[in-house]
Structure 1
């Protein structure tokens, strides 16, 4: 039922401490009494032609195509040879066929995916003697391919397509029932599975990691989809992706293929370093698509975009995606378009699953022409005839822009992509970036809390600490994403802790009509414990599984198994709450103040750099579309490539057609609103964190802002038109507070004192006392 607890039960005999202790346990015996422990195979000297022949035969037999496109063939052949590979193919260029078959094949669409071929080629290569001797690996030594992907919906679609083609594939995700997990586990043990899809978070599950070490035939390939997520400089960095390389080593995978549509040279270097990929095994395809016409228009205000959008949609017909930044904006714009006679609907992450499915199906079938969407829409969409992509707001990154325009014109026919640029767009992008950097004192408090957590002793030795990321984020005002990065850094760089399988501390269920009968007639101790300990509120029962296990002496996993059994048989409707992350302590945690401050210094410096990098990303998008240069050439150069045949112009973007660069109108910096500062101080009595006050002024939500309901105040975001960052002024040494304020006004610094760093605050307070400018002191927050 959950991606955490159900995964623990994949193999009941797995010792979750083996992984950390480094102890090797015997693998399950084959009929011949052989261990199934996977080994790294020795490469054979085989004619490279055999790899290409096998790959092409599968392409023809399973997918109906005669030849590969672009760099697919090279990537697949290198993978089949046993090399680690990086494939950087733009959206629609067929990444997935490198490990599995295309989700859907259409006459008009040639975007078959290359990732799937090796996943089903190893058995054939083994039979033809193109791999090392695999005797002693069990009855079926062809092994499996693990595909690491961040999107459950896309994984499900690909698994469905594979099974329709007779290829044994499965997906481990949080929607699977206990029985489904067991069936997948049995298929792995018996060698009946070829491809297994899972999310990167699954790699924190000790039971899963340990079980992968003993799959019959071993792990032939790990395919890392959306591999740019592994780089801290990637446009959608995810901490759990950092752990994929360690997972590959631990399960002794034979080879790795990393795939992405959006890797800059810097990101590609990070991926290659993590997986030991040579330059010769990096395959790149230019993002240039000759049928895409790239346009940009600048407007003075956000409201000025709407008439431009109407005209664009009237001039360019066909299926259209309009990208916006936030959910409310998607709904409002879709309503306005509908009121103007267009068949439009909104799509965003806040919709119910059934509504998302309905909208997507209607768009695919042509019943809806326009979908106004956040970035939640489009991943995995295989609609070949999308004619238009509209960016109503500036994209967050060039990579995001490239990925989204790549969804247009996959049938090769002319398609149009336009972005409406406005200075007001940059506020929201800055809002996102500024909100991810906590204050220094928040970071200090967080680490002190973590390092002083009470440890729980494990039965086989070692200690575990339990952390609620929700509580930590709320208490120290840190958003989930940066908090996840901080914890991953403590794990991977400092080697202090290691994430193991999370758990839910509380389970809730709604009793169905048959529950009372089922529970009273179930004589198992687990059923009795649930019946006795579950407390009912108005509708839902709640049971603290940890407390029940402690008082009854039952195993926590057995109680959860019984809850899942009741859920799967329709006796209850179960949901888990209060995720608790567990970390094994690898070495003595710092306790001295200096030790902790040293770690804080390093982490804060890195986070500041990440903030600046995030701010520059939207500037890069603007630069790409406002520079006196061909858009397509600028886009290719961003990814370290060129236009075909050394061309310097595409001939059909806005700059090539007009010869004039798009110009953003200037945005003057407003004077610091001293009255506005005082209103914020009057409305908010928080004084322990200057950056927190800046968030209120700038309209940045954070866990603490939400908890205190400050986002509901009129002053929230009242100074969003000011510059956020404090730039240090010159020659402030002997100036009083009034002069310092004046200087900050001249520098266009946000809210003078309030958003200054803690150090500037302290120095200003000292000047107040020295110069006795008490009349102005009331403007500064007090300790």
Structure 2
């Protein structure tokens, strides 16, 4: 199957797979199980409750557990009774069983009148391809028919999954939220044989705009659940403050009083510790001493990729067995490191937050934060990986004034200037697009827009999500490739010569050869009407090993839902509304870091303050845990701030001299502060001496200074 066109480089389907999916939907209808779409009627009536003993049998016989833990039994009972639920269990709390057990019960024993193969499926939406694969592998080993739809699948594997869906054999299907932009997939899910018995939403805190990991594609899941007429929904997360949990329940019409299941976040075997220093170098000896006193498997979290390598090298020089891990490493290396960590008892992994998801190691003895976590939610999730065996484990947080720069660097990086946003909306509401009728479609390149308007990928997605979900102007549909390149094998010419299809003839005639690669423009005027047939034929040739296919040039596609703004004032109104939301999100990112600092600098028990953030408290009316840094010292940790600096006029002038344009003060401030962006990458400024030359200054102070300079230039 062709690689994904998604910007995440993991998920999605090319639009030309839609034909396969729609054909599958047609095939499903022939079984006489075509269901009404959500638009045909209101929410489904409450289903007949299923016997809970079936769930207990599945727990014992398939998963090998003697009893349910935490509130798993209550959640599963509610789901089997036909209702939806929101589940907030700590990391390692067994959330996945809350949908895996019902999925098995639905298809094995159902008191309703269902024929063979009519058991339906559980659809799981999860953001991480590695976790999906791990869960599917584990389920298949236990004899449960599960699969994923992801871009790593071969075309044969993909078609086999479709066949299992058609035959009603599949119990659990995993997909990424980005796949919900694929029209063919949405249509396919509407007509799955036996229906979508349960929609499970993993990492559900991503739904909430107030959450620490908001992802715009998650906002579309609630709409999707209505469109596919899912019988019930379960939303799962390890990190949801009360406001976020309420957002999740509201999005899926889940009764918050009856359907929200939350367990205590307090883990008595985790000792929360913190120390403060002026610089990271000052804290190095303390880290070394801590690790000598506290042996065992350890994760040290840092913020930047280069820090993982530098600190791991320092640790090795002191005799520790240490490795670095970050998202920039190749998949094979990361897999090898994860496997090594699972085996070893004394390995120290210095990592960015890319490490930890799916690491189910029970005896991690230490989790250390060498930089400030982005939020209390992130901190809670990361320390939750320690001590799952119930034994004492230590969670150390080293704080210093240098963290403030990193904190601002990440919080300030996503907000573009108003001019950038205005330019983007002018591009989206171009005269060609506004002349299209409602229902018409336009294509654009996100990659090009990022570079043209200096807007990061995640931010660009958020802007499009606002236009789609808040303002209801457009709707994302299936991304497409506009160019297909391929290398041919020895049988290519003979296969094409014997193939009498129109698509094969078009490929033979219009495929242009360079040195070693052929290419064909499927969007050319001549081939446009044959596009779907040509792409399917290319995929078939690739699957058969006759060619090696490389799709290129992703175009994001949007359908117009209502007329686009045609005047300057109307466009400006959208600029102000969207910018206001983005400014709020920037401030919230800063506020989340303040909450993290407050946890350890207040005169209060760390464990209790953390529990109260999540709407919880210490058990048994306890007011203190007795073993965190505050409880042991009765003294708050004092953040040691760096001394104030004088404004660096030479560095300021050097930035202005290197960048003659005065069109964007925020861009100039970012360069001085050391925040990269698409425009900075395009101008190759990240390695220039001016980049980060004023990193010890306040970002807002820099922004004011560069704004004055831009205004003066404009006035003159």
Q: How does the TM-score come out when normalised to structure 2?
A: 0.93
1:328 equivalent in alignment to 2:336? no
Matches within 5 A, 1:542-561: 542-547=519-524, 550-552=525-527, 555-561=530-536
Find the counterpart in structure 1 of residue 277 from structure 2: 299
Q: How many residues align?
A: 703
Taking the aligned partners of 1:303 and 1:519, their CA distance within structure 2 comes to: 65
Matched-pair contact (CA < 8 Å) for 2:28–2:193: no
Q: How does 1:756-775 map to 2 (within 5 A)?
A: 762=711, 765=712
Matches within 5 A, 1:205-216: 205-216=182-193
Change (3 A) 1:440 1:552: closer
Task: Tell me, yes or no, if the aligned pair for 1:170 and 1:184 is still in contact at 8 Å.
Answer: yes
3-state SS of paired residue (1:400) = helix
Aligned to 2:634: 659
**Change in 2 beyond 3 A, CA 1:461/1:178:** farther
1:596 maps to 2:571: yes
Tell me the distance in 1 between the aligned counterparts of 2:285 and 2:264: 34
1:84 aligns with 2:84: yes
**Mapping of 1:429-508 within 5 angstroms?**
429-452=407-430, 454-455=432-433, 462-508=439-485
Displacement of 1:711:
2.0
Q: 2:688 aligns with which of 696, 704, 713?
A: 713
How do 1:396-411 residues align onto structure 2 when only pairs under 5 Å count? 396-411=374-389
**Stretch deviating more after TM superposition (710-719 or 197-206):** 710-719
> Is 2:439–2:560's contact at 8 Å kept on the other side of the alignment?
yes
Report the 3-state secondary structure (helix = DSSP H, G, I; strand = E; otherwise coil) of the residue aligned with 1:257.
Answer: strand
Query: Which whole-Å deviations, capped at 9, do the CAs of 1:735-770 have from their partners, x for residues lacking one?
Result: xxxxxxxxxxxxxx33653145x9xx64xx4xxxxx
Alignment partner of 1:750 is 2:702: yes
User: Would the aligned equivalents of 2:21 and 2:187 in 1 still touch at CA under 8 Å?
Assistant: no
Report deviation, 1:321.
0.9
Distance in 2 of aligned mates of 1:34 and 1:297:
62
1:345 aligns with 2:323: yes
How far did residue 674 of structure 1 move? 2.6
Q: Map 1:187-586; keep pairs closer than 5 Å.
A: 187-279=164-256, 280-366=258-344, 369-452=347-430, 454-455=432-433, 462-511=439-488, 524-537=501-514, 540-547=517-524, 550-552=525-527, 555-586=530-561
Q: For 1:117-153, what per-residue CA distance to the aligned partner results, in whole angstroms no more than 9, with x for missing partners?
A: 1111113451xx3xxx445xx6432111000000111
Q: Which sits farther off after the overlay, 145-154 or 332-341?
A: 332-341
C-alpha spacing 1:518/1:328, structure 2 compared with 1 (3 Å): farther
Superposition deviation, residue 479 in structure 1? 0.6
SS at match of 1:63: coil
Q: Which residue of structure 1 aligns with residue 150 of structure 2?
A: 173
Q: Aligned equivalents of 1:688 and 1:383: distance in 2? A: 51
DSSP 3-state at the match of 1:321: strand
Shift of 1:570: 3.2
Is the 8 Å Cα contact of residues 522 and 528 (structure 2) preserved in structure 1? Answer: no
Q: CA deviation at 1:461?
A: 8.5
Residue 457 (structure 1) shift: 10
Measure the CA separation in 2 of the matches of 1:87 and 1:661. 34
- Residues 554, 389 of structure 1: CA spacing in aligned structure 2 closer, same or farther, 3 A cutoff? same
Structure 2 Cα separation of the partners of residues 628 and 225 of structure 1:
36
Maintained 8 Å contact 1:509/1:541: yes
1:712 aligned counterpart, secondary structure: coil
**CA distances 1:401-437 after superposition (whole Å, capped 9, x unpaired):** 1111111111111111111101111211211111111
Alignment counterpart, residue 648 of structure 1, candidates 623, 627, 644? 623
Work out the CA distance in 2 between the residues paired with 1:69 and 1:478. Answer: 45
Query: Is this contact kept in 2: 1:699–1:716, CA < 8 A?
Result: yes
Segments of structure 1 that go 5 or more residues without pairing to the other structure are 19-24, 100-115, 726-748, 766-779
**CA–CA distance in structure 2, aligned partners of residues 672 and 656 of structure 1:** 41
- Contact 1:187-1:193 within 8 A present in 2 as well: yes
Deviation at 1:521, TM superposition (A): 5.7
Does the CA contact (< 8 Å) of 2:665 and 2:703 recur in 1? no
How far apart in 2 are the matches of 1:307 and 1:540?
Answer: 56
Q: Is the 8 A contact 2:401 2:639 kept in 1?
A: yes
How many Å apart are 1:652 and its aligned residue?
1.3
- TM-score normalised over the length of structure 1: 0.85
- For 1:456 and 1:596, the matched residues in 2 are separated by 12
Q: Distance in 1 between matches of 2:275 and 2:516?
A: 54
Relative contact order: is structure 1 or structure 2 higher (C-alpha 8 Å, sep ≥ 6)? 2
CA shift, 1:204, in A, is 0.7
Residue 55 of structure 1 contacts residue 121 of structure 1 at CA under 8 Å; is this kept in 2?
A: yes
Which residue of 9, 12, 29 corresponds with 2:17?
9
Inter-partner Cα distance in structure 1 for 2:394 and 2:493: 60
Once residues 160 and 635 of structure 1 are traced to their aligned partners in structure 2, the CA distance between those partners, rounded to angstroms, is 35
1:239–1:485 CA contact under 8 A, matched in 2: yes
Question: 1:122 maps to which residue?
Answer: 106
Question: Retained in 1: the 8 A contact 2:342–2:361?
Answer: yes
Structure 2 gap ranges (5+): 5-11
Q: 1:648 to 1:461 in 2, by over 3 A?
A: closer
CA contact (8 A) 1:391 1:418 kept: yes
Q: In the alignment, which of 612, 633, 652 is matched to residue 608 of structure 2?
A: 633
Shift of 1:667: 3.0
User: Does the CA contact (< 8 Å) of 1:672 and 1:752 recur in 2?
Assistant: no
**Contact 1:677 / 1:751 at 8 angstroms: preserved in 2?**
no
Q: Does 1:614 align with 2:589?
A: yes
Within 2, Cα distance between the matches of 1:217 and 1:541? 44
